[in-house]
Amino acid sequence: MLTFKGLVVRETKKGESSKLITVLSSEHGVIDIFVRGGVKSSKSISSTQLFSYSNFCVDVKKDAHGYSNYYLNSCEPINLFYNVRLDAKKTALACYFTELLCFSRIENSYCDEILKLTLNTLYFLDKGNHDNELLKSIFEFRLLCEMGFRPNLVGCNKCYEVEPEIMHYNYKSGLLECDNCCYNPESIFDIRLDKALLYIVRYIALTDYNKLFSFKINEKYQQKLTEFTERFVKYNFKEYFDTLDFYRIL
């Protein structure tokens, strides 16, 4: 039997009354847990629904191939992020976050930082003091940084200049080059970052979680940041997310 705290990132109905939930936890990454009678049981219904952060107690059974299968024994809710569920736009954004997590295939790996990032993002989305677009950008870029896609943001790859007026980031090479050194600024993989945008990008990639959400930006920079982080996800995941479209049309 295992006990751990985890966040439900997907719910799938299984048969008449059971369901499979996908849970993100520090210790096990993203794993599937089978919930017998989970659709009807009032005991576990709130703590096993999408976006619930709960204490889980699960039984582990190995199959013939040695794979572990998890079965829910009991669970208690810790935070249900109730306000996220009441607002269609916030729900759509949270669905996009959970789709990114399911896609990231972080099964059975240690995910302390990713869980921390996700819980913090949902906490601020639930509280409502932050701009949804900023939370989205922070989550998109930092998630990929924590997954090992963090680019080297120290300075120009050729002349080592740290803060030029304009820096170019190339999605394909993952490198920064200043305007003087940039070999192919017309490349489809190129994006221009001015000093302020570069500062914001570095901040999201590297700042501690206790300060990560403590900044605001104006609409002009939010648009630039949104372009930077959406292209970063698109290039590295090479996948199209329907939940992002749905969030956009609301």
Residues 217-246 that bind Zn ion (CB under 5 A): none
Report, in Å, the least distance between residue 198 CB and Zn ion.
13
- Smaller CB distance to Zn ion: residue 23 or 178? 178
- Decide if 125 contacts 81 (C-beta within 8 A): yes
List the x/- string, 146-165, binding to Zn ion by CB under 5 A.
----------x-xx-x----
* Residue ranges in 165-204 that form contacts with Zn ion under rule CB under 5 A: 178, 181
Q: How many residues in the shown chain lie near Zn ion by CB under 5 A?
A: 6
Q: What is the nearest approach in angstroms of Zn ion to the Cβ of residue 53?
A: 45
Nearer to Zn ion, 28 or 168 (CB): 168
Q: Cβ-count burial of 235 within 10 angstroms (0-12 exposed, 13-18 middle, 19+ buried)?
A: middle
CB of 202 to Zn ion, least distance (A): 17
Amino acid identity of residue 73, one-letter, is: N
Nearer CB in complex with Zn ion: 87/179: 179
Cβ 230 to Zn ion shortest distance, Å: 26
Q: Which residues bind Zn ion (CB under 5 A)?
A: 156, 158-159, 161, 178, 181
